[in-house]
Amino acid sequence: MSDRVPVVTGMGIVCASGSNKDAVWSSLMAGIPATRPLTILSSTRHGDAPVGEIREDLDTLCGKRLRGSRSDKLAYAAAIQALSQAGFSEGTVGDIGPRAGVVMGCTVGGELGTERVLANLMQRDIRRFGPLRYHECASSADLCATSFGCFGPTTTVSTACSGGAMAIAVAGEMVRDGVADLVIAGGSDSLCRLTVDGFGSLFLLDVDGTKPFDRDRAGINLGEGAGIVVIESRESAERRGASVLAVLSGWGTSCDAFHATAPESEGKGAELAMTKALHAAELQPEAISHINAHGTGTRDNDQVESRAIKRIFGSAIPPVLSTKGLFGHTLAASGAIDAVISIESLSRGGPPQSVGFREVDPEIGLAPVQESGSARQDHVLSNAFGFGGNNVSLILSHPDLLAAEKPVSVPLPEATQRGRLFVTGLGAVTHWGGTADALFEACSAEGAEPSPYDIGAPLTPGQTMAYHCAEAFGASEMIAPRRRRRLDRIQLMALVAAGGSCDADVLESVPGDRLCVAFGTGLGATAATAAFIEPLCENEEGLPSPQKFTNAVHNALASQVAIEHGARGLNSTMTHREVSFENALWHGAAELASGVADCAIVGAVDELTPYLLSAGKRWGWWGESSPKLLPLSDNLSGRQRALPGEGATAFCIMPEAHAESRLAELVCTATGRFFLTPEAHLDADREALWVEAILAEKGVSLDQIDLVLSGANGFAAVDDMYRAVVDALGARLGQSIRHGAYKHLCGEFQAASAFGMAVAVGLLTDRVSPSALLAPEGDCRVVVLYTLSESGTRAVTCIRRPEDGA
Amino acid sequence: MSTEELIQELKANIIEVLNLEDVTPEQINSDEPLFEEGLGLDSIDALEMVVMLEKSYGIAVQDIEETKKAFASISALAAFVAENRTK
């Protein structure tokens, strides 16, 4: 098993201190802050604090002109360095491609470009919509995957400031579990108005320069950049003859389940993440050579992190480093940049110095590293904590330890035999209301009737037909007014769906630290983001609401679910277009399978907003003429368009030993990028082979499949791709396989595949008939959910009747 | 504007900006603490109140810790607003 130990074979870094590893290291050793006045943005309210801005030309750093956001280019620039060090000099991963994945952590994505579009819109200039194509956080991972020839799992983690570290933990999980042999992982974020004015509105920017752990610390300085590592299995590294730079020997994740932005004051969440990482690596605290702290320089973080460190390490606290004084807080990139610096310090004999610290805070009683030392480094503990109390700790170990007597252990000791996983509950918010029952009762082949949705100002006024959720979906009954008052509609949708998925008694039986939450969202809280940015774009005096900023992060959804249910285990937010849900499902299931959690609340949510409707209308995704959404229709003309929808769906998933009421067995879920034919169409034959192989791994053969439920949406080009794959599967089997659809019931939105899984569970529990899903009638015992995304990723999920797998 | 009128206006503003739909102005005791006990407000509410101070009274807050002292109660806030308002 130790062949699957995740090791690091390449790394890349771009930040204000330098645009490659050596430049950054020299700058860090010199101890000179690289934070300077903000120039990339004009007319921000809070632009007077210094920032770690990258002044170099990004196309030069990337070695070519790329289409993409600033965050995308930062990610690419760091990734090519990492690939080159890992021995892929041609700029692609070559033959290993089908087994190579990409996992990026990202918070703002293309927000910088979006803000420029928005400012133009406010001036009634609607010509330039282009940058919106790169708005999504998923864009960076897609750019890297397509550029480097990676066809394995490709996803994006958005857990605010811990995103990059979480991406590395996810990559470690993928390699350890054999989902991929190699994963390009890390984080990137560019500066933008949302974060500069957002943190400014929270009074968290220190205009005098950030001072981590100092008595007079007064906040962060923002930065931008990217950190990328190539993580691969030890076996893969050996086979390729690649040098191992470090071992990713452990990782731990947790959630404070406490507050939208403030950390829990005792640091129990931070402690749990660090303890889990130590446990996974089978290390005692004294084995840690130094700690690369999150150390942001805010009053709260540094105090809370110190408390947690003191409880774990007692009086023998190893040297503590904070890099934030050097190049600022790079948000989702920071955890990954810190991982790169941690790895570098393994070979350089110690961490660089912390900058900005002057005097010990008596309430903290801890001074960060003041000068770079020279001592053998065995293990570095690297922390990253985010809004919503999303905590991640990584342990990176010296490569010499691979040869040591006691090799780094993998998999986790608890993961002996978790057995099968079951869906034990289901909740849904749809245009029929806030319960799964309402959805099942309304399901029929006729589909649902869309209703007019006003687009309104500041965009072109007009209406679009859409499947939008009713105003009342049960939030006021389920969530107390004091909790509800600060939540946006998308969060309420997530909370109602999550609440419907889990039984109070079941939750009672699971300890909080073994309850995890994983949510997918394609676009996140777009309405809250727009509400924060609009006043700023409108005029220079605009005053945005700080609370909208705290709601704007994608992971506000999953962390609110965690607060509601006291879920202190993994808190994951995946944002990767149409397969966001499947990635969240995979992450929750992997956490259960590794033995560190007993229950996962897994779901997905997306909301309709005027911006989405306008952009989609402009790009021809939907038209005003469609009376209804008609997937899998025989006479689709090329002009037929989809209709937008929205909704939230959540599932409670538990392993065999804990699952009492069983609705369905979750057999498997897998994601990746599909292959293209020489004519650049989806290669349906190779797709069928992939689906067959994923199912075969779990002992399911093609003849057992009763129905393939696809994301067909009535858009001829999309339906043709799904049909081709289902036909190719039938061709391999030698008889046709039933093909059903669900988007005539919910409309088109990125989180819709979670709705698809809900109706699939409905099929297995006889609540929904195949004909309601446009498929021929007949028994359904094994259902395959198949989802394609516009950017070339896809997912397959298999569920079956609980009694069938025994 | 009398102190009493300002107090009433502040109560209404706070209920509106903090979306306290289950609270009426009469239920807010002018001398009770607004944070933790009393209304049970938190740090994000304080920031929303800072925005309210700038929007409604033209008070641009520079030091949040100093301003938080003015949030001790509605009476304290009314005194702060009366002294610092520019509109």
- Contact flag B48-A547 (C-beta cutoff 8 Å): yes
pLDDT band per the 50, 70, 90 thresholds, residue B63: confident
Q: Is the pLDDT of residue A129 over 70?
A: yes
DSSP string computed for A137-163: THHHHHHHHHHHT--S-EEEE--GGGH
Please give the residue of chain B at the shortest CA–CA distance from A260.
B44
Q: Is residue A649 part of a domain?
A: no
Task: Classify strands A599-606 and A515-520 as parallel, antiparallel or unpaired.
Answer: parallel
Domain housing A449: 421-623+664-805
State whether A407 and A460 are in the same domain. no
Q: B residues 23-82 near A, CB within 8 Å?
A: 40, 42-44, 47-48, 50-51, 54-55, 64
Query: What's the rounded Cα separation, in Å, for the pair A229 and A234?
Result: 15
Which H helix or E strand runs over A684?
Answer: helix A684-697
| pLDDT score at A542 | 79
State whether A511 and A587 are in the same domain. yes
| pLDDT score at A406 | 59
Q: What is the mean pLDDT of chain A?
A: 93
| pLDDT score at A175 | 96
State whether A172 and A221 are in the same domain. yes
Those residues with Cβ within 8 angstroms of residue A756's Cβ, 6 or more apart along the chain or in another chain? A709, A711, A742, A785, A787
Q: Are A267 and A229 in contact (CB under 8 A)?
A: no
Q: Are A764 and A664 in contact (CB under 8 A)?
A: yes
Q: Are A331 and A161 in contact (CB under 8 A)?
A: yes
Query: What's the rounded Cα separation, in Å, for the pair A202 and A262?
Result: 11
State whether A371 and A434 are in the same domain. no
State whether A476 and A611 are in the same domain. yes
State the DSSP code for A520: E
Collect all residues of chain B within an 8 Å Cβ-Cβ radius of residue A202: 47
pLDDT band per the 50, 70, 90 thresholds, residue A1: very low
Mean pLDDT of all residues in A446-474: 81
A545 touches chain B (CB under 8 A): yes
State whether A435 and A396 are in the same domain. no
Collect all residues of chain B within an 8 Å Cβ-Cβ radius of residue A543: 51, 54-55
Q: Within chain A, how many helices (H) and strands (E) appear?
A: 26, 22
pLDDT band per the 50, 70, 90 thresholds, residue A456: confident
Which of A48, A202, A203, A300 best tests the B interface by mutation, with the highest count of B CBs <10 A?
A203
Mean pLDDT of all residues in A565-593: 97
State the DSSP code for A349: T
Question: Which residue shows structure tokens 């705290």?
Answer: A550
Mean pLDDT of all residues in A591-598: 94
How do residues A757-799 score in pLDDT, each as one tens digit? 999 999 999 999 999 999 999 999 999 999 999 899 999 999 9
Q: Are A272 and A192 in contact (CB under 8 A)?
A: no
Domain end call among A349, A381, A411: A411
Collect all residues of chain A within an 8 Å Cβ-Cβ radius of residue B43: 261-262
A542 touches chain B (CB under 8 A): no
pLDDT band per the 50, 70, 90 thresholds, residue B68: confident
- Contact flag B55-A481 (C-beta cutoff 8 Å): no
State whether A28 and A50 are in the same domain. yes
Length of chain B (residues): 87
| pLDDT score at A524 | 95
State whether A590 and A453 are in the same domain. yes
Structure tokens at A499: 């609440």
Q: Amino acid identity, residue A243? A: S
Q: Is the pLDDT of residue A547 over 80?
A: yes
**E-state strands within A555-691:** 571-574, 599-606, 647-655, 664-673
Q: Is residue A349 part of a domain?
A: yes
What are the backbone dihedrals phi and psi of residue A580, each rounded to the nearest 5 degrees, phi first? -60, -45
- Which residues on adjacent β-strands are paired with residue B31? none
Q: Is residue A752 part of a domain?
A: yes
- Contact flag B44-A547 (C-beta cutoff 8 Å): yes
Q: Are A242 and A221 in contact (CB under 8 A)?
A: no
Q: Is the pLDDT of residue A638 over 70?
A: no
Please give the residue of chain A at the shortest CA–CA distance from B22.
A481
Q: Is the pLDDT of residue A365 over 90?
A: yes
Q: A residues 660-719 near B, CB within 8 Å?
A: none
Q: Is residue A572 part of a domain?
A: yes
Query: What's the rounded Cα separation, in Å, for the pair A516 and A539?
Result: 42
CB atoms within 10 A of CB A3: 12
Domain end call among A356, A379, A411: A411
State whether A502 and A392 are in the same domain. no
DSSP string computed for A271-315: HHHHHHHHHHTT--GGGEEEEE----S-HHHHHHHHHHHHHHHTT
Q: Is residue A659 part of a domain?
A: no
Q: Is residue A639 part of a domain?
A: no
Tell me what ipTM this predicted complex has. 0.94
Question: Shortest CB distance from B44 goes to which of A482, A486, A543?
Answer: A486
Catalytic positions of A, please?
161, 294, 329
Q: Are A31 and A324 in contact (CB under 8 A)?
A: no
* Alpha-carbon dihedral angle through residues A636, A640, A646, A652, given to the nearest 10 degrees: 20
Query: What's the rounded Cα separation, in Å, for the pair A425 and A498?
Result: 9
Domain end call among A370, A388, A411: A411
What's the Rg (C-alpha) of chain B? 12
Q: Are A587 and A560 in contact (CB under 8 A)?
A: no
State whether A428 and A358 are in the same domain. no
* Alpha-carbon dihedral angle through residues A748, A751, A754, A758, given to the nearest 10 degrees: -50
Domain count, chain A: 2
Name the nearest CA neighbour of A578 among A366, A794, A750, A777: A750
- Among the ranges given (A112-116, A287-291, A325-329, A604-608), the one the predictor scored with the smallest mean pLDDT: A112-116
Mean pLDDT of all residues in A416-437: 91
State whether A84 and A157 are in the same domain. yes
pLDDT: which is higher, A542 or A517: A517
Q: Within chain B, how many helices (H) and strands (E) appear?
A: 4, 0
State whether A700 and A562 are in the same domain. yes
3-state SS, residue A790: coil
Question: Shortest CB distance from A546 goes to which of B19, B48, B55?
Answer: B48
Please give the residue of chain A at the shortest CA–CA distance from B64.
A203
Please give the residue of chain B at the shortest CA–CA distance from A204.
B64
- Contact flag B51-A485 (C-beta cutoff 8 Å): no
Please give the residue of chain B at the shortest CA–CA distance from A544.
B51
Q: Mutual orientation of helices B3-17 and B43-57 as an angle, nearest 10°?
A: 120
Which of A485, A491, A559 best tests the B interface by mutation, with the highest count of B CBs <10 A?
A485
A638 touches chain B (CB under 8 A): no
Those residues with Cβ within 8 angstroms of residue A7's Cβ, 6 or more apart along the chain or in another chain? A231, A232, A233, A234, A237, A244, A245, A246, A247, A248, A399, A402
| pLDDT score at A536 | 87
- Contact flag B47-A547 (C-beta cutoff 8 Å): yes
Mean pLDDT of all residues in A122-127: 72
| pLDDT score at A548 | 95
- Among the ranges given (A67-71, A221-225, A372-376, A686-690), the one the predictor scored with the smallest mean pLDDT: A372-376
- Contact flag B19-A485 (C-beta cutoff 8 Å): yes
**CATH code of A127's domain:** 3.40.47.10
Tell me the H-state helices in A489-635.
489-501, 504-509, 526-538, 546-552, 556-565, 580-593, 610-618
Domain boundaries defined on chain B: 3-84
Q: Does domain B3-84 have CATH number 3.20.20.150?
A: no
